């Protein structure tokens, strides 16, 4: 799996300028503003890193790359696991910087933890979609899925009421949510593995 | 050894149904026209596609296999140096010095992205990638596509050197350019419409096979026991025999020519079997 991560990090290096621009914008906005927007913009950066992980799948697949790639010495399961490991590794620097920043200014670090859980949830949702549909069709699939999720949430709010939902969510302990997200990630890995094991290249 | 026994794979408009065996230490050519199933055979051998029936005995350790696909490559945003780093991470026995030295010899720019390479440069790079990690088996699907005669000869020289280094090494190679395979291969398989319909040693083809050309009248009286394929032409009949000497002795006035792989391939595609 180390070799797969090296390959993906080399791919990410190719478009690292985009990530760097994101950092520069955040720093610039914070410097010229009276108010610090770091906590608001970091989740956006994390979302960008999720997209970068998905982009490595695009680069692997692009121009019929899969047949040759999958003759290299690794298993399909290792390939799947490497994408999840990459998605976590790629946001570690952001988490560490955010943690240090929060500790310095004495901010609440719960936001970091919630953002991390949301990030894991999003990666776990998107990776199997990308692997199944391929990069071209998965954009459409993700847009449709986003509409379904947003529509379902809106419907739920209409039926049950916003206050009731917030009260319900506040009842969930962080540990329960964390376990739920990790279980969701495990399910995602199993689905991704099943997709890749069945795939013909 | 590589072996496919009664392997079947069905697609919407195509069915593969093959059995073949490639012994260690041999160079085997797989010939066929476009869409005949050559790439499907290679993908089945490499485990890239599932099969519906049959059994495949292939190399267990992917470190021991070097592969070229004419239409597949790692991301074209990599450079030769990037590919060297990546292959070094993947393969136990990747020879980085050999890879980079040969790349320079082949005039492949080390820091230019593959996207900017010509077709010939990409083809050379693919073969180099396959040859750089001490593979025991090479599976090469039209490795010389897009190369001129000089570049093709360079590639075949590299393949000969590869075989000479270790007698147990094996190559399975497909190509449209049949004349190139004549001097490289020990055996030939011909695949047509998903089925193997010819298999022979190159030496035997050169020694005992012949191309008979005869008139309609001659065809009617010809002893056909050693005829495998025939084709009706405007001038009469063309036919392949695997016992050229029999016809030379018994039909001294008949035109019997030495045969080449092109003739055999064409006769298998366009001709009829007896």
CB B87 within 8 A of CB B67: no
- Structure confidence at residue A33 (pLDDT): 66
Residues β-bridged to residue B243 = none
What is the value of ipTM here, to two decimals? Answer: 0.89
Task: Return the residue of B nearest to A58 by Cα.
Answer: B75
Judged by a CB distance cut-off of 8 A, whether residue B165 touches chain A is no
Domain ranges of chain B: 2-203, 209-273
- Structure confidence at residue A30 (pLDDT): 67
- Structure confidence at residue A50 (pLDDT): 80
% of chain B surpassing 70 pLDDT: 100
pLDDT tens digits, one per residue of A163-199: 676 666 666 677 888 889 999 999 999 999 999 999 9
CB B136 within 8 A of CB B63: no
Q: β-strand B170-174 against B137-141: which pairing, if any?
A: parallel
Q: How many CB pairs under 8 A join A and B?
A: 70
- Structure confidence at residue A168 (pLDDT): 66
- Structure confidence at residue B56 (pLDDT): 94
Best of A67, A74, A201 to mutate (most B CBs within 10 Å, chain B): A67
For chain B, what is the mean pLDDT? 92
Report the SS3 class of residue B190. Answer: strand
Please answer yes or no on whether B62 and A73 come within 8 Å at the CB atom.
Answer: yes
- Structure confidence at residue A166 (pLDDT): 65
- Residue of higher predicted confidence among A1 and B29: B29
The alpha-carbon gap from A70 to the nearest alpha carbon of chain B, in Å, equals: 7
> Counting beta carbons within 10 angstroms of the beta carbon of residue B151, is it exposed (0 to 12), middle (13 to 18) or buried (19 or more)?
middle
- Structure confidence at residue A55 (pLDDT): 87
The alpha-carbon gap from B91 to the nearest alpha carbon of chain A, in Å, equals: 7
pLDDT tens digits, one per residue of B220-232: 999 999 999 999 9
- Structure confidence at residue A80 (pLDDT): 96
**Closest in B74, B78, B91 to A73, CB measured:** B91
The pLDDT confidence band at residue B137, using thresholds 50, 70 and 90, is: very high
Most confident of A112-126, B80-94, B217-231: B80-94
Query: Measured between beta carbons, which residues in chain B are less than 8 angstroms from residue A8?
Result: none
Q: Residue B272 and residue B238: Cα distance in Å, rounded?
A: 11
pLDDT tens digits, one per residue of B171-209: 999 987 787 888 899 999 999 999 998 999 999 999 999
pLDDT tens digits, one per residue of B4-46: 999 999 998 999 999 999 999 999 999 998 889 999 999 999 9
Span A131-139, average pLDDT: 84
The pLDDT confidence band at residue A13, using thresholds 50, 70 and 90, is: confident
Reading the block at residue A90, the tokens are 């790629």
- Structure confidence at residue A74 (pLDDT): 95
Report the SS3 class of residue B65. Answer: strand
Q: What does the DSSP 8-state code read for residue B116?
A: G
Give the rounded distance of the alpha carbon of A176 from its chain centre.
20
Q: Residue A122 and residue A98: Cα distance in Å, rounded?
A: 19
Whose tokens are 């089925």? That residue is B195
Our separate counts of H helices and E strands in chain A read 8, 0
Reading the block at residue B140, the tokens are 């090469």
Q: Residue A49 and residue A13: Cα distance in Å, rounded?
A: 12
Most confident of A47-61, A116-130, B100-114: B100-114
Task: Return the residue of B nearest to A64 by Cα.
Answer: B72
User: Residue B216: which of B245, B239, B242 has the closest Cα?
Assistant: B239
Please answer yes or no on whether A73 and B77 come within 8 Å at the CB atom.
Answer: no
The alpha-carbon gap from A78 to the nearest alpha carbon of chain B, in Å, equals: 12
Q: Residue A48 and residue A129: Cα distance in Å, rounded?
A: 17
Candidate from A123-132, A174-183, A184-193, B62-71 with smallest mean pLDDT: A174-183
Query: Measured between beta carbons, which residues in chain A are less than 8 angstroms from residue B86?
Result: 3, 6-7, 10
% of chain B surpassing 90 pLDDT: 72
- Kind and range of the H or E element at B170? strand B170-174
Span B98-119, average pLDDT: 93
Most confident of A100-104, A136-140, B96-100: B96-100
Query: Measured between beta carbons, which residues in chain B are less than 8 angstroms from residue A65?
Result: 72-75
Helix axes of A110-160 and A174-198: crossing angle, nearest 10 degrees: 90
pLDDT tens digits, one per residue of A34-90: 665 666 667 777 777 787 888 899 889 888 899 999 999 999 999 999 999 999 998
Please give the class, per CATH, of domain B2-203: alpha beta
Q: Which alpha helices (H) appear in B65-215, and where do they start and end? A: 80-90, 96-105, 119-131, 149-165, 178-184, 202-208
Q: Residue B216 and residue B234: Cα distance in Å, rounded?
A: 10
The alpha-carbon gap from B173 to the nearest alpha carbon of chain A, in Å, equals: 16
CB-facing half-sphere around the CA of B48: CA atoms within 13 A? 23
Q: β-strand B15-22 against B2-10: which pairing, if any?
A: antiparallel
Candidate from A35-49, B85-99, B255-269 with smallest mean pLDDT: A35-49
Please answer yes or no on whether A60 and B85 come within 8 Å at the CB atom.
Answer: no
pLDDT tens digits, one per residue of A145-163: 777 777 777 777 677 776 6
- Structure confidence at residue B241 (pLDDT): 93
pTM given for the model: 0.87
Domain ranges of chain A: 2-198
Span B230-248, average pLDDT: 91
DSSP string, B208-266: H-EEEEE-HHHHHH---TTEEEEEE-SSSEEEEES-HHHHHHH-TTSEEEE--HHHHHH
């Amino acid at each position: 799996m180390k070799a797969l991560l090296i390959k993906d990090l080399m791919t990410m290096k190719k478009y690292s300028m985009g990530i760097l621009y994101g950092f520069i914008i955040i720093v610039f906005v914070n410097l010229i503003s009276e108010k610090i927007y770091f906590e608001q913009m970091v989740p956006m950066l994390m979302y960008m890193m999720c997209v970068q992980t998905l982009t490595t799948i695009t680069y692997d697949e692009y121009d019929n790359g899969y047949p040759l790639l999958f003759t290299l010495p690794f298993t399909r399961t290792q390939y799947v696991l490497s994408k999840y490991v990459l998605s976590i590794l790629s946001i570690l620097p952001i988490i560490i910087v955010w943690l240090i920043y929060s500790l310095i200014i004495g901010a609440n670090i719960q936001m970091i933890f919630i953002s991390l859980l949301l990030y894991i949830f999003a990666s776990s949702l998107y990776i199997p979609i990308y692997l199944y549909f391929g990069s071209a069709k998965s954009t459409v699939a993700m847009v449709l899925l986003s509409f379904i999720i947003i529509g379902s949430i809106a419907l739920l709010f209409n039926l049950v009421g916003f206050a009731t939902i917030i009260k319900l969510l506040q009842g969930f302990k962080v540990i329960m949510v964390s376990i739920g997200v990790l279980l969701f990630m495990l399910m995602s890995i199993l689905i991704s593995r099943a997709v890749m094991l069945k795939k013909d290249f | 050894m590589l072996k496919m026994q009664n392997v079947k794979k069905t697609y919407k408009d195509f069915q593969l149904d093959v059995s073949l065996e490639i012994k260690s230490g041999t160079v085997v050519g797989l010939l066929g026209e476009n869409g005949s199933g050559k790439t499907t055979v290679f993908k089945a051998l490499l485990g890239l596609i599932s099969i519906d029936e049959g059994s495949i005995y292939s190399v267990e350790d992917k470190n021991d296999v070097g592969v070229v696909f004419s239409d597949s490559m790692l991301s074209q945003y990599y450079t030769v140096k990037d590919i060297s780093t990546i292959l070094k991470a993947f393969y136990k026995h990747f020879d980085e010095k050999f890879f980079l030295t040969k790349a320079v010899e082949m005039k492949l720019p080390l820091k230019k992205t593959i996207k900017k390479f010509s077709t010939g440069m990409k083809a050379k790079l693919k073969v180099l990638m396959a040859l750089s990690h001490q593979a025991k088996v090479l599976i090469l699907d039209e490795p010389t596509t897009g190369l001129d005669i000089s570049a093709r000869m360079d590639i075949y020289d590299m393949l000969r050197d590869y075989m000479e280094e270790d007698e147990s090494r094996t190559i399975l190679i497909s190509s449209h350019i049949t004349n190139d395979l004549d001097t490289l291969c020990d055996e030939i398989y011909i695949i047509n419409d998903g089925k193997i319909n010819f298999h022979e040693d190159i030496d035997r083809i050169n020694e005992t096979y012949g191309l008979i050309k005869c008139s309609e009248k001659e065809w009617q009286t010809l002893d056909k026991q050693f005829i495998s394929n025939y084709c009706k032409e405007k001038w009469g009949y063309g036919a392949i025999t695997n016992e050229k000497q029999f016809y030379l002795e018994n039909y001294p006035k008949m035109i019997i020519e030495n045969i080449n792989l092109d003739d055999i391939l064409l006769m298998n595609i366009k001709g009829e079997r007896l």
